[in-house]
Structure 1
Amino acid sequence: MEIKILRSGNGEYQTYNVELEGATLLSLLNHIKTKIDPTLTYSHGCRSGVCGSCAVRVGGREVLMCEYKPSGGECIEPIRNARVIRDLVVEGSMVEKCNRAAHASGEKMDGSALSAGEMERITVQSDCILCASCYSACPVYAVNPDFLGPFALTRVWRYVNDPREREVSAKMAAVQANGIWDCTLCGECVPVCPQGIAPKQDIMMLRTKASMMGYQDPHAAAAFGGGLDFGGPMF
């Protein structure tokens, strides 16, 4: 089996031939590392699709190396929108940075118990494994590096939708700039999530809640000369 891996040293793909049938990409890279090329650098942890540390791009799409089984001929490269440390390893502080800016955590939550229905509303968003695949797939970063990103926004929805959270207003205020209105709703983040989370839908829900709280899409307002007043004629 032939696979090509983008090497950070020269910015070119290096071809490897490995005779392992039915193996995961992680197993193939472990074989290359131990038997062929000890300089190859990549990251992994749990080996069972839980930790998210082995996310890469294969053929232009984000996957977890421990779950993906290549068929041969694929091009492997690091995830996008993150600084490459070496080969397939990237610097991951952007997730923490975006989460902090978006207030994407439980800040002031009471100790009341959740009903089964209330728990179900936030279960999916709570399953994120921090693989950053959605960040890598997001095209908004090409024009706005300060964008809060899919995961941070879907995590905000998780807490806004939690009846125990007492800082809903602060969280909604935090995602107005470089946040929910900057998303293009392209949906590229949805199919790459290994946990089945759909940030696009969560961002749409945040937009609806923001509108109910009196916020407006600044881009739409600018299109109407700086304000949205439909009560009179426009010239």
Structure 2
Amino acid sequence: MTTTLITGANKGLGFETARQLIAAGHVVYLGSRDEERGRRAAAELGARAIRIDVTDDASVLSAAKIIERDGGLDVLINNAGIAPEWGDDGTVIGAAELTAELMRETFDTNAFGPVRMLRAFLPLLQRSAAPVVVNVSSSLASLSRVATPGRPGHDYPGVAYPASKAVVNMITIQYAKAFPGIRINAVEPGFTSTDLNRNAGRQTVAEGAAIIARMAQTPPDGPTGTYVDATGSLPW
């Protein structure tokens, strides 16, 4: 039986990904910073709740010890993410208003979080017969798209969020090269209606989570080091 850990999973895409993978037969650890919310969400799905804050080394290491004690891990989904540059009124903090503190806050979750997770959980994944890592990225991480007039993302004014997700893509490439026995891929779920974007997305969480769940089931001879959405490969 496949054991999967999803960070930031008490709501939104993480929660729906957990639902889909449980339906596919996975044992799912539902990771959440808020212990009570995590317990409620896990109880609703039949998942295992685990407190994990990807910005805190001690929290990540504690979760790794618990999961190791319980039997190990096959799939890690780095889903936890924030976008503090997005205002409740639909405005976006752009380059003119960008601060180092905003970049630091965004990177601590979106970019440094996956590194903390990989550092702690790689020993467990390497013991699996079919280890997989899914890094949840964004189409805004595509340098070629954002740089090209008329392409999706070109008109987006923010810096911190797309920069953090571009780092996620580089992390994906470099870890995939370093650990060829693990299928490690970056996934763009699409513009999904979640709390992250103040529910402005154009697709449902079920639609957005489908590609994450699919890539979580990548077989040992499947792709690695890729950047994909539901339709196929995306340009870096």
Please give the range of the TM-score, normalised by the shorter of the 2 chains: under 0.3
Whose radius of gyration is greater, 1 or 2? Answer: 1
Q: TM-score, normalised by structure 2?
A: 0.24
Comparing both structures, which one devotes a greater share of its residues to helix? Answer: 2
The higher-RCO structure (CA 8 Å, 6+ apart) is 2
Q: TM-score, normalised by structure 1?
A: 0.24
